[in-house]
Structure 1
Amino acid sequence: MSLTAHIPSHRKPRRSASKLAVRAGVAGGVLSTLAMAGTASASPSAEPVTETTLEMPVLSLDLAAEVSSSVTKAAENTRAAVLEGELHAQEETARTGAAAEAKKAKEDAQQKADAEEKAKQEKEEADRKAEAERANRSTARASLSTKSGSGATPSDGSGASVAAPATGSAAAIVNFARAQVGKAYVMGGTGPSSFDCSGLVQAAYKQAGISLPRMSQAQSSAGTSVSLNALQPGDILYWGAKGSAYHVAVYVGGGKFVGAQNSSTGIVERSLSYDKPTGAVRVL
């Protein structure tokens, strides 16, 4: 074996025959083209070749500006849509609130009308009751007058008999009652500076050593019933039904009574014709 067999050769490798043939063909084609071009240029009948230059349109659009404008417009449209939606929502809320207020106002007006109608009916009912009570009192007086007959006893013209002056316990009652004339009427008052109707009657009878119930209802049934045409000083007069009277006074003779009427008049002495009582009872 040669000592240099392992050393690679520095010579260029040989080209293959196929590659050489391709290159030769290409070179030949080029030379043929050049020869034809030279012949054409040398021929006097050949027309000159005019070169034409095509100009491409220049795009001048600013794409960034167009995109920015589109984005801005889209944002404005979105904002407008949001504002419109908020406006619709506010209008709907306003309509709902107005409807609720109108409904409440209608309900309040109806309640007020109902309350006024109820008050009117109650007043009419109270007036009817008062009228019926006055009618009953008039009927009772007429009945008593009919039963008493004419000329039974001397009368003062008011239907009440004229009795002899009060003596004994009756005098004490009458004198005390008359001594209170001019004092104030106070609901619940029992003296000494003010009285209500039953408080005055109770205090007057106390002067004769007689204890009466406190309320007018009980005082109206405390003694024996007597005719209004046969009254004696010291008798208890009452207004309303016996046992449920709403007012009482003391008969002082001469067709008069003393009573604590109301807060406007106080304690007064009045004729029976001023406000005729319903009935009377005698306790003495």
Structure 2
Amino acid sequence: MSRNFTNLLIEDDIAIVEIDHAPANTLSTACIAELREVFKCLANDDKLKAIILTGAGRFFVAGADIKEFIDALGDDQKGLAMATAGQAICNEIESMKKPVIAAINGACLGGGLELAMSCHYRIAVSAAKLGLPELQLGLIPTFGGTQRLSRITSTATALELILTSKQLNGDEAKEAGLIQLVVSPEDLLPTAKTIAKAFVDGKSMTSITRAVECIIQGANESLVNGLERERNNFAELFLTDDAKEGVHAFIEKRKPLFKHT
């Protein structure tokens, strides 16, 4: 596929997706559509084990493309279409069965923060700015921000950050529980790659994908349903070649040679 808003780099079994929409990597309708296509391709690539999402230049994503809002004023159906597309890409990233790491290199605002919150793990540089300023436009976060922020942090923190439009730097975002790690700019991608490898190296993708599914889906369903999903996935793994290999390798005190089947 031709790409106008993203760069894709494959290193071994890790994909690095870089949003590149100058000057501020805003999420226009076309950019969102391209991102959805990119992640669809990555989801279907059995050779890839993990994904890193970052931004080009000084921005991760500065937000949605506000210029597109002008045409939607007075037309709630156009507003609904924007919200639906934004929620779709965030839902699709969150539902990825391969670990997705957000490497936040700069401003991460509005739709950009909502995109980052849909990733499974988040690291940022100290100088990053994270926030949801939509109320200053007379709007609300609509790519999932009102829902994911409270789930990741707390209801009180979500209310504070959304109602005040406060922006957090990397260290403040870590303290709030919004990101997991703060690093220097030169260490951002190397650290993201190290974390990605720690997630997948020496493990079977048959168990990784099921673990991610159980955690992500379980966060959005009842404990009873989550436990049912967990035990069913556990049972199904006993039918896989990798479980047989992993158990025998442990007993034989050797490293497993997983085939991811």
The structure having more radius of gyration, on CA atoms, is: 1
TM-score normalized with structure 1 length:
0.19
